[in-house]
């Protein structure tokens, strides 16, 4: 069953393993939106979350399960009945529900619950059996499989198969293995373990040594027919296998890797941008497939070759991943119809009221910029997303900075509908602005991240600012774009505070996430 077909299933864990990146916590609505995009893109299995972790995670998994049109919806559960029961409850409304249960099998991980090999084997049998009694589709993972003794790994996989597991996932939890080892491990397990031909083997690779994509592809060569991955390679530490990389590698090099997926690759860029915006983790410029420079050519020799034949220096077309090859020139004379068409090309299907809001800001931007690029439109669309709370709003900001004058910010902040004004000083205009906001809206949140990047080139480029705040274990992210970096900073900071207000109001109900360390 594992090697008889060349169809490789794509298991996306952006909403579970990806969201475990420190500071990458997404809102409920963002999770639903990203799950819908994954479903539309053709992902086979969506790991929607860890239902036992919090009431918020449970609600997200449950609602995604109800909304899913095509994909199997999976929840994660540790090897105990409580986790598994909660997971089954969360995914029960899915057309194709899956429970993914796991336990650490390497010597290091066995020492954590202080279980002997026999005790762990018994727990695996009991918990996988319990999960299979609740759903027909059960995935089991021996966490840290690549550092588990060979004989014991074979033993527990056989137990899981006999207990009813339909997918056996082999996690390289700490990114320790190398491609040749990855292929050999899968191949040997399929050849050795009784019942292996009746299940699907999956691979779950982390990128600690920069080999996650290579290890995942090697595992497919060894017989794995499911790849676990995330959008943009999001994930703990150095991240996970990047969905866009393995999918495009299989598509572009189908001559040497004759495997197929069900992914609509033209949707890759759109979902990459949405995940980057929701998580607050910007995509590095030279990131494979989805980076800003992935289809950029500056060298004279490269440019000359591209003009004569694009295939000279491009092994895939920008359109293959949903990237417009050229920019539609939009300016201050462009109308709403042209803007809507461009938004649609970029993957944004906006309602009339959203279009009007974006159009107003587009006109303001066009009056300030000589040329409006695709990236500017994306920034406007993302900045226009409806905030979770409107209690705080930047109404006026003026800063004084330079080598002679003290750095100060004069701010009018609308708080619960009332305008309040203050002038504050700081170590630079951004620090002064943040001090002004804090003076008008006192809070104990700690600034975890302040990040600025130019959306396009030129001195009139929009700056996209990401601000991440943490308070009592709650992590929130705000993002804003403006041609004035300080204004964008203020809006991003206030946006994060608006999200924090919502978290405070719901604290104790469903949004203060519990801490959990167990993960594949």
Query: What pLDDT band is residue 507 in, cutting at 50, 70 and 90?
Result: low
Domain at 9-279: CATH code: 3.20.20.70
d(CA 113, CA 389): 42
pLDDT in tens, 16-51: 999 888 777 788 889 999 999 999 999 999 999 999
Q: In the prediction, which pLDDT does 300 show?
A: 44
Q: What is the pLDDT of residue 171?
A: 97
pLDDT at 327 over 60: no
Q: Looking at residue 451, what is its pLDDT?
A: 87
pLDDT the model gives residue 302: 41
CA dihedral 510, 514, 517, 520 (to 10 degrees): -10
Q: What pLDDT, on the 0 to 100 scale, is given for residue 281?
A: 87
Predicted confidence (pLDDT) at residue 511 exceeds the cutoff of 50: no
Q: Which helix (H) or strand (E) holds 447?
A: strand 446-454
Q: Are the C-beta atoms of residues 310 and 333 closer than 8 Å to each other?
A: no
More confident residue, 227 or 473: 227
Q: What is the pTM of this model?
A: 0.76
**What kind of fold does domain 392-506 have according to CATH?**
Double Stranded RNA Binding Domain (3.30.160)
SS (H, E, C) 451-465: EEEECCCCCCCCEEE
Contact 135, 98 (CB under 8 A): yes
Q: DSSP letters along 273-325, please?
A: HHHHHHH--PPPTT-TTTSTTTT---SHHHHHHHHH-GGGT-SS-GGGGT--S
- In this model, does residue 138 exceed pLDDT 70? yes
pLDDT exceeds 90 at position 348: no
Collect all residues with Cβ–Cβ distance below 8 Å to 88 and sequence separation of at least 6.
97, 99, 131, 134, 135
Indicate the pLDDT class of residue 305, thresholds 50, 70 and 90: very low
Q: Is the pLDDT of residue 299 over 50?
A: no
Residue 509 has pLDDT above 70, yes or no: no
pLDDT at 377 over 80: yes
pLDDT digits (tens, 9 = 90+) for 396-407: 999 988 887 789
The pLDDT of residue 309 is 53
Quick one: 468 exposed, middle or buried, by C-beta within 10 A (0-12, 13-18, 19+)? buried
Q: Grade residue 438 by pLDDT with cuts at 50, 70 and 90.
A: very high
For residue 88, pLDDT over 50 is answered with: yes
pLDDT confidence of residue 254: 96
Structure tokens given for 399: 């800063």
Spatial distance between the Cα atoms of 57 and 52, rounded to a whole number of angstroms: 7
**Could you give the CA distance from residue 21 to residue 257 in angstroms, rounded to a whole number?**
31
Query: Binding site membership for Mn(2+): which residues?
Result: 17, 204, 206, 240
Query: How far is it, in rounded angstroms, from Cα 482 to Cα 315?
Result: 35
pLDDT score at 159:
98
pLDDT value of residue 4: 57
Residue 350: predicted pLDDT: 84
**470 pLDDT higher than 80:** yes
Mean pLDDT of 142-167: 97
Q: What is the pLDDT of residue 311?
A: 55
Average pLDDT of the chain is 88
C-beta contacts of 183-192 below 8 A and 24+ residues apart: 183/218, 183/219, 183/221, 183/222, 184/222, 185/145, 185/146, 185/219, 185/222, 186/219, 186/222, 186/223, 186/224, 187/222, 187/223, 189/153, 189/154, 189/157, 190/2, 190/3, 190/222, 190/223, 192/154
Q: In Å, what is the CA distance from 317 to each residue of 184, 242, 266, 295?
A: 33, 19, 10, 8
At 252, the pLDDT band (50, 70, 90 cuts) reads very high
pLDDT-based confidence at 62, cuts 50/70/90?
Answer: very high
H-helix or E-strand spanning residue 244? helix 243-252
Helix axes 268-279, 243-252, angle to 10 degrees: 160
C-alpha 11/C-alpha 25 separation (Å) is 20
**pLDDT bucket at 338, cuts 50 / 70 / 90:** confident
Q: Read off the tokens for 334.
A: 């462009």
Q: How far is CA 269 from CA 41, 66, 276, 319, 454, in A?
A: 11, 26, 11, 10, 18
Among the listed residues 82, 126, 77, 122, the one whose alpha carbon sits nearest the alpha carbon of residue 101: 77
pLDDT at position 513 is 40
State the pLDDT confidence band at 508, using cuts at 50, 70 and 90. low
Mean pLDDT for 341-351 is 80
What confidence tier does 79 reach under pLDDT thresholds 50, 70, 90? very high
CA dihedral of residues 110, 113, 114, 116 (deg, nearest 10): -50
Burial 411-429 (b: 16+ CB within 10 A, else e): bbbbeeeeeeeeebebeeb
Q: What is the reported pLDDT for 370? A: 67
**Inter-residue contact 111 to 150 (CB < 8 Å):** no
CB atoms within 10 A of CB 336: 14
Span 165-185, average pLDDT: 97
Distance CA 79, CA 140 (A): 10
State which H helix or E strand residue 226 sits in. Answer: strand 226-229
The pLDDT value given to residue 384: 59
Q: What is the pLDDT of residue 326?
A: 46
Q: What's the farthest any 2 CA atoms get from each other in the chain?
A: 77
In the predicted model, what is the mean pLDDT of residues 82-96? 97
When pLDDT is cut at 50, 70 and 90, the band that residue 334 belongs to is: confident
- What's the CA gap between 501 and 507, in Å, rounded? 10
| Integer CA distances (angstroms), 514 to 50, 52, 58, in order | 11, 9, 12
Q: Which residues are part of a known binding site?
A: 17, 204, 206, 240
Q: How far apart are CA 171 and CA 206, in angstroms?
A: 8
Dihedral of the CA atoms 252, 257, 258, 261 (nearest 10)? -60
For residues 135 and 349, what is the distance between their CA atoms, to the nearest angstrom? 36
Does the pLDDT at position 472 exceed 90?
no
Token couple for 201: 């083997």
3-state secondary structure of 354: helix
Write down the pLDDT at residue 462. Answer: 84
Answer whether residue 194 shows pLDDT above 70: yes
Q: Which residue has the higher pLDDT, 51 or 346?
A: 51
């Amino acid at each position: 069953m594992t090697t008889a077909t060349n169809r490789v299933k794509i298991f996306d864990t952006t909403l579970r393993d990806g969201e475990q990146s420190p500071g990458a916590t997404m809102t409920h609505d963002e999770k639903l939106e990203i799950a819908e995009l994954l479903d539309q893109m053709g992902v086979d299995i969506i790991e929607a979350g860890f239902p036992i972790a919090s009431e918020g995670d449970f609600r997200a998994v449950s609602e995604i399960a109800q909304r899913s049109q095509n994909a199997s919806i999976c929840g994660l559960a540790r090897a105990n009945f409580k986790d598994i029961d909660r997971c089954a409850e969360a995914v029960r409304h899915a057309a194709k529900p899956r429970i993914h249960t796991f336990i650490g099998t390497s010597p290091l991980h066995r020492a954590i619950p202080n279980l002997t090999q026999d005790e762990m084997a018994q727990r695996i049998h009991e918990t996988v059996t319990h999960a299979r009694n609740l759903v027909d589709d059960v995935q089991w993972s021996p966490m840290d499989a690549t550092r588990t003794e060979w004989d014991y790994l074979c033993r527990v996989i056989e137990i899981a198969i006999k207990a009813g597991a339909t997918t056996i996932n082999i996690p390289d939890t700490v990114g320790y293995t190398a491609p040749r080892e990855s292929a050999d491990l899968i191949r040997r397990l399929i050849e050795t373990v009784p019942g292996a031909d009746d299940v699907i083997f999956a691979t779950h690779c982390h990128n600690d040594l920069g080999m996650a994509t290579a290890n995942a592809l090697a595992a497919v060569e060894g017989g794995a027919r499911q790849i676990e991955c995330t959008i943009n390679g999001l994930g703990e530490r150095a991240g996970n296998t990047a969905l866009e990389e393995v999918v495009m590698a299989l598509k572009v090099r189908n001559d040497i890797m004759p495997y197929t997926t069900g992914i609509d690759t033209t949707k890759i860029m759109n979902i990459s941008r949405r995940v980057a915006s929701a998580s607050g983790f910007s995509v590095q410029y030279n990131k494979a497939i989805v980076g800003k420079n992935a289809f950029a050519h500056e060298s004279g020799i490269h440019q000359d070759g591209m003009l004569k034949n694009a295939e000279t220096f491009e092994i895939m077309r920008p359109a293959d991943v949903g990237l417009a090859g050229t920019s539609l020139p939009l300016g201050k004379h462009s109308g709403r119809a042209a803007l809507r068409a461009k938004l649609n090309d970029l993957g944004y299907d906006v309602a009339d009221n959203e279009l009007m809001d974006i159009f107003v800001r587009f006109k303001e931007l066009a009056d300030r910029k000589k040329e409006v690029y695709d990236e500017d439109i994306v920034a406007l669309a993302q900045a226009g997303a409806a905030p979770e709370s409107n209690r705080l709003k930047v109404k006026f900001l003026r800063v004084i900075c330079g080598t002679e004058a003290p750095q100060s910010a004069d701010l009018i902040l609308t708080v619960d509908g009332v305008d309040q004004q203050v002038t504050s000083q700081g170590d630079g205009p951004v620090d002064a602005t943040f001090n002004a906001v804090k003076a008008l809206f006192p809070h104990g949140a700690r600034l975890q991240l302040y990040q600025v990047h130019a959306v396009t080139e030129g001195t009139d480029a929009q700056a996209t600012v990401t601000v991440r705040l943490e308070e009592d274990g709650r992590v929130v992210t705000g993002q804003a774009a403006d041609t004035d970096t300080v204004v964008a900073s203020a809006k991003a900071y206030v946006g994060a505070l608006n999200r924090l207000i919502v978290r405070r109001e719901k604290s104790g109900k469903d949004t203060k996430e519990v801490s959990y360390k167990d993960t594949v």
